[in-house]
Amino acid sequence: MTTLIAFVLTLGVLIVAHEWGHYRVARACGVKVLRFSIGLGRPIWRRQSGETEWVIGLLPLGGYVKMLDEREGPVPPHDRARAFNNIALSRRAAIVAAGPAANLLLAVALYAVSFWIGTDEPRALLATPPAASLAERAGVQAGDLVHRVLVLDADAGSASSGDSYEVASLGDLRWQLTRAALAGRDVVMTVSRGARPPAGHVDGATGDTPSVASEPAATHDLRLALSSLGASDPDPALMKRVGIGAPFSEPVLGKIVSGGPAEKAGLQKGDVVLNIDGRVPADAAALRAMIRASVVGTADPIPQAWRVSRAGKDIDIAVTPARVLDQGGAIGRIEAAIGGPVRMDLVRLGPWEGLTRGVQRTIETSVLSVKMFGRMLIGEASLRNLSGPLTIADYAGQSAHLGLAYYLGFLALVSISLGVLNLLPLPMLDGGHLLYYLIEAVSGRPLPDAWIEWLQRGGLVFIVAMMSLALFNDVARLAGLQ
């Protein structure tokens, strides 16, 4: 039920914002608005207020603002000056652009409120990177605390020029690394090593610069060669290739599965793993790697000599992991949760900083969305990145369960996607109409009605195909096929 409510609320808020933008600018430009509809199809509620009929349609998958227009029916002589087709070209363009602009402005506001409320985020403490990953080659070690990243200019041969960003959380770090990887730019991370302060409260409202902790004096720089990845999709595998995975956690055992190798060996929840066969696991990620490596090829699992700390005592235990298949290969597994509590911080910004960060995040996400649309059109990025209503509903429910700030951030992301999508120069979309007006401004005359009719039909076919593909991707994703 929460998912359904969150989904309907998401669509309602975004559609209202989009159509309200068209409506308000139309009124400001002197155009008579006949109907403001949220939803499509048969009206299930309507009300006349002044000149405008307010409607809620049966299908909550869109909306529209119907304006007085001589192309759609007869217009009384006294109202001709208020018809959409009779106003100046600049005003028509402003009315059309107002819908997407409203979505982008809404995203700024939603991000700002989300930043003001604050979210509990994993601290940017790095886990042991996977073997052969960029992070391992750069020298990342378990427990490295990232303070800032410098996104190098494309032609920078050294770490001297680029855009610098403070890192407030692990999610913040992943966002900056994703943007840099898709842009083909290397980054330099400024990290401190060995300082793992307890989880705290990062509060930008105090006037201090928000960060994960007060930066110690001893820091050093690590360069990630993201340009070597040739990344084109922001998929989950990207961060695996970079080597920035789950946050740092201690090598502690959690829930033990009944009848599994861990229980049979005598391991217990809360055991702190000191070493395996004399090798000390730096963190939970390293411990998992050691367990997985106990199986080589088709051979039986190799028994391991574990030393754990339990209730202040060191205990030696022989553990033989089970041999299981994972993505076509054999690995070892002990059937127990691994990893202690992740260090979390409440990341919250003050009024001005939250607003400016909202503007910055909206611009960054808009630019990334445009680039991804372009790459999908020319075949450089997978069409699997397209998402439809089922994915939106799923993510809406998940973010709503996490809390208001997370849900507002999700709303902002979808609002940006809706705004950017509508600005694409495709017939049937707002961007297509703006393209018509640009041609009219350059040529001095509007496109012939016959041309517009054919373009609209072609645009409709394209949009239906895109929506069908998005729905297919939704079903495949939810079914675990992608």
Nearest Cα residue to 66 out of 98, 34, 100, 25: 34
CA atoms within 13 A on the CB side of 479: 7
Residue with tokens 């809390």: 403
Catalytically active residues, by annotation: 19
Structure tokens given for 26: 């139309």
Q: Which parts of the chain have pLDDT scores under 50? A: 197-217
Q: What is the pLDDT of residue 6?
A: 84
* Best CA proximity match to 165, nearest among 147, 191, 183, 182: 147
Please report the pLDDT score of residue 452 as a whole number: 80
End-to-end CA distance of the chain: 26
CA distance 8 to 450: 38
Radius of gyration of the chain (CA): 28
pLDDT for 62 = 84
Calculate the dihedral angle through the C-alpha atoms of 455, 461, 464, 468, rounding to the nearest 10 degrees.
-140
Sign of CA dihedral 476, 392, 64, 9: positive
Quote the pTM value. 0.80
Neighbouring CB atoms inside 10 A of 177's CB total 26
Which neighbouring-strand residues pair with 307?
275, 316
Q: Give residues with Cβ within 8 angstroms of 347, minimum separation 6.
A: 118, 119, 120, 121, 168, 169, 172, 202, 210
C-alpha 185/C-alpha 170 separation (Å) is 19
Residue 73 — left, alpha, or beta (φ > 0 → left; ψ -120 to 50 → alpha)? left
Rounded distance between C-alpha atoms, residue 328 and residue 204, angstroms:
47
For residue 307, the model assigns a pLDDT of 94
Give buried/exposed letters for 230-245 (b at 16+ CB in 10 A, else e).
ebbbbbeebbebbbbb
DSSP for 325-389, please give it.
EETTEEEEE-SEEE--PPPEEEEE--HHHHHHHHHHHHHHHHHHHHHHHHHHHTTSS-GGG---H
What is the reported pLDDT for 328?
65
Q: Report the alpha-carbon distance of residue 93 to residue 116 in Å, rounded.
A: 34
Maximal C-alpha separation, the chain: 95
Asked if residues 229 and 244 have their Cβ atoms less than 8 Å apart, the reply is: no
Give residue 209's pLDDT.
Answer: 37
How far is residue 229's CA from residue 238's CA, in Å, rounded to a whole number?
9
pLDDT at res. 272: 94
Q: Residues with Cβ < 8 Å from 430, sequence gap 6 or more? A: 96, 97, 99, 100, 422, 423
Q: Name the phi and psi angles at 197, rounded to 5.
A: -65, 155
Q: Are 198 and 343 in contact (CB under 8 A)?
A: yes
Q: Is beta strand 329-333 parallel, antiparallel or unpaired with respect to 322-326?
A: antiparallel
Per DSSP bridges, beta strands 145-152 and 187-192 are antiparallel
**Predicted pLDDT at 213:** 41
Domains delineated in the chain: 2-114+391-478 (no CATH), 120-248+344-348 (2.30.42.10), 253-338 (2.30.42.10)
pLDDT value at position 381?
66
